[in-house]
Structure 1
Amino acid sequence: MCTCCLDSKKPSFIVALWTFILCSEFIVRTPVQAVMVIGSSLPIFAAPGDDVILPCHLEPMFDVQGLTVEWSKPDLKPDPSDRLSRVEYVHLYRDRKEVPDMKMASYFRRTELFMDAMKHGNISLKILNVSEEDNGRYRCFIPKLRSRVKAAIVELVVDPNYAKNLTTDKPLHPKILQTPDPQDTTPRNSRSRVSVVVVIFAFISVVAVAAFASCFSDLLQQRLNKQPEDDETQR
């Protein structure tokens, strides 16, 4: 670094240097956002006989094809006659396939995941031909996910009067309510994070260019001021 920059009376270079250091520390020390399981903050409404999708996904996008995905009803108590207190699942995905042997009998052949979309973090559950017995809270859970947020809750409300509020311009059956797009693979936060990083680097670049420009300007000015003195000395 040139001596003139350190000796310059102008504080602009020092301010720019400290700004550069602080921004660099911010970028280096800012942790990568952890993967989280996200459900729906609002209940999912349906009428008896509807096909519904309980939305649940990972954010940022994360491939879960090789992990275990459990869908259960947390408010149900274990069967007292079962000494092992085994959990019965609404849907269980393990070893890259469904495990029907551990499902609740009432959900047999009525649930499915979007297998092709799981590589994009979509673990939404589709339930066919819902009834009022399906009312309640559902829990999507990834036990081996390296995250503090491994589960999310989605509430399903099956109401016989719900169909009366729907328009009759479209057929009521079959229909899918609250359906996430399985083909939508764009992570929601990735673009915003990239934009922030781009803005920070652009700011650093502008500050650095301005600082070095000020440095060389001072150096040039000193040389110009020194040249007449040298000419007088030579004379």
Structure 2
Amino acid sequence: MSRLSSSSYTFPLWTLILCSAFLITPVQGEVVVIGSNLPIIASPGDDVILPCHLAPTFDVQGLTVEWSKPDLKPDPSDRLSRVEYVHLYRDRQEVPDMKMASYFRRTELFMDDMKHGNISLKILNVSEEDNGRYRCFIPKLRSRVKAAVVELVVDPNVAKTSTMAPLHPRNFPTPDPQDTTQRHGENTVQLFSASSLFGVLCICGDLLVFSTSAGRSRVPVVVIVVTLLLVLTLAGFAAYFSRIFQKLKQKHQKDDETQKQPLQV
């Protein structure tokens, strides 16, 4: 009976150690899709770039990239109708057959920059009909944030100017943390919270096994309780400072964009 009791505690204690290690390790570095938190403003006839990239940089040449207008829905009366794309990249090339007619020969990706994670879309000779939200989406990206939304505003009252955005991913603006499609500013916190929750569940399970198993443990209960409190404290501090860091980073980048944005007459 003593052997059985001893071995019954070996597994949950090892599980506790592994779960605790997983809990206190920040889940960072996941590749996410980032658009722009500011609308792209242009006048009719301008060539524009809708910025979208992956962070950290990631080669997307072998993946499918979809640019669409999420506000356009299929005709419910026509079961065979489908939502066509503004631009579709698949098998390392554009797929024009599934493209909206109004964007034919007017859109392109920066093929040479896709290896760096740049999936920005260039639209030529925009008009007021191009107004609206555009969604860049990588369906097979192993990430929780596979899409981002960029808004284009074509206003005839805006003086004609260059609306070309920088092509290098590090110069792109950060996403709006309130956007419903992308939440890169909160991504690290969300991932960390998920891992924290998983770790807490593991620890609670271990404590449950500890309290319900027969026999006497060689490890005092106080050690497990102190470990649990320490892990929860570290998780809370890490999540808090990560969120503060993201807010400061977004504010700094917004200030830089405001200073660099040309005055519009």
TM-score by length of 2: 0.54
1:179 aligns to what?
Answer: 165
Shift in Å at residue 79 of structure 1? 3.0
Q: Which runs of 5+ in 1 are unaligned?
A: 1-24, 164-171, 189-235
2:108 aligns to what?
Answer: 112
Shift in Å at residue 85 of structure 1? 3.8
2:242 aligns to what?
Answer: none
2:99 aligns to what?
Answer: 103
Q: Which has the higher helix share?
A: 2
* Deviations, residues 168-208 of structure 1 (Å, cap 9, x unaligned): xxxx5xx64141224x67999xxxxxxxxxxxxxxxxxxxx
2:35 aligns to what?
Answer: 39
Alpha-carbon spacing, 1:152–1:140, altered in 2? closer, same or farther (3 Å)? same
8 Å Cα contact 1:60-1:187 kept in structure 2: no
Q: Give 1:88's aligned amino acid.
A: E
Aligned with 1:78 (options 63, 74, 81): 74
CA distance in structure 2 between the aligned counterparts of 1:85 and 1:181, rounded to whole angstroms: 35
Aligned with 2:64 (options 48, 68, 83): 68
- Percent identity between the aligned chains? 80
1:94 aligned onto 2:90: yes
8 Å Cα contact 2:51-2:172 kept in structure 1: no
Q: Secondary structure at the match of 1:106?
A: helix
Shift in Å at residue 81 of structure 1? 5.4
1:122 aligned onto 2:108: no
CA distance in structure 1 between the aligned counterparts of 2:170 and 2:34, rounded to whole angstroms: 15
* Deviations, residues 10-56 of structure 1 (Å, cap 9, x unaligned): xxxxxxxxxxxxxxx69x83334211100000100000000000000
Q: Give 1:107's aligned amino acid.
A: Y
Q: Which runs of 5+ in 2 are unaligned?
A: 1-20, 174-265
Q: Give 2:115's aligned amino acid.
A: K
CA distance in structure 2 between the aligned counterparts of 1:180 and 1:107, rounded to whole angstroms: 22
Alpha-carbon spacing, 1:73–1:109, altered in 2? closer, same or farther (3 Å)? same
Aligned with 1:133 (options 129, 135, 138): 129
CA distance in structure 1 between the aligned counterparts of 2:170 and 2:165, rounded to whole angstroms: 15
Q: Secondary structure at the match of 1:177?
A: coil
* Deviations, residues 148-175 of structure 1 (Å, cap 9, x unaligned): 1000000000000001xxxxxxxx5xx6
Larger Rg, first or second structure (1 or 2): 1
1:152 aligns to what?
Answer: 148
8 Å Cα contact 2:46-2:125 kept in structure 1: yes
Q: Secondary structure at the match of 1:122?
A: coil
Shift in Å at residue 73 of structure 1? 0.2
Alpha-carbon spacing, 1:117–1:83, altered in 2? closer, same or farther (3 Å)? same
RMSD: 2.6
* Deviations, residues 105-163 of structure 1 (Å, cap 9, x unaligned): 00000000000000000000000000000000000000000001000000000000001
Q: Secondary structure at the match of 2:149?
A: strand
* Deviations, residues 54-100 of structure 1 (Å, cap 9, x unaligned): 00000010000000000000001213454234220000000000000
CA distance in structure 2 between the aligned counterparts of 1:49 and 1:186, rounded to whole angstroms: 25
Alpha-carbon spacing, 1:83–1:142, altered in 2? closer, same or farther (3 Å)? same
Q: Give 1:114's aligned amino acid.
A: F
CA distance in structure 1 between the aligned counterparts of 2:134 and 2:150, rounded to whole angstroms: 5
What number of residue pairs does the alignment pair up? Answer: 154
1:54 aligned onto 2:28: no
CA distance in structure 1 between the aligned counterparts of 2:45 and 2:91, rounded to whole angstroms: 31
CA distance in structure 2 between the aligned counterparts of 1:53 and 1:187, rounded to whole angstroms: 11
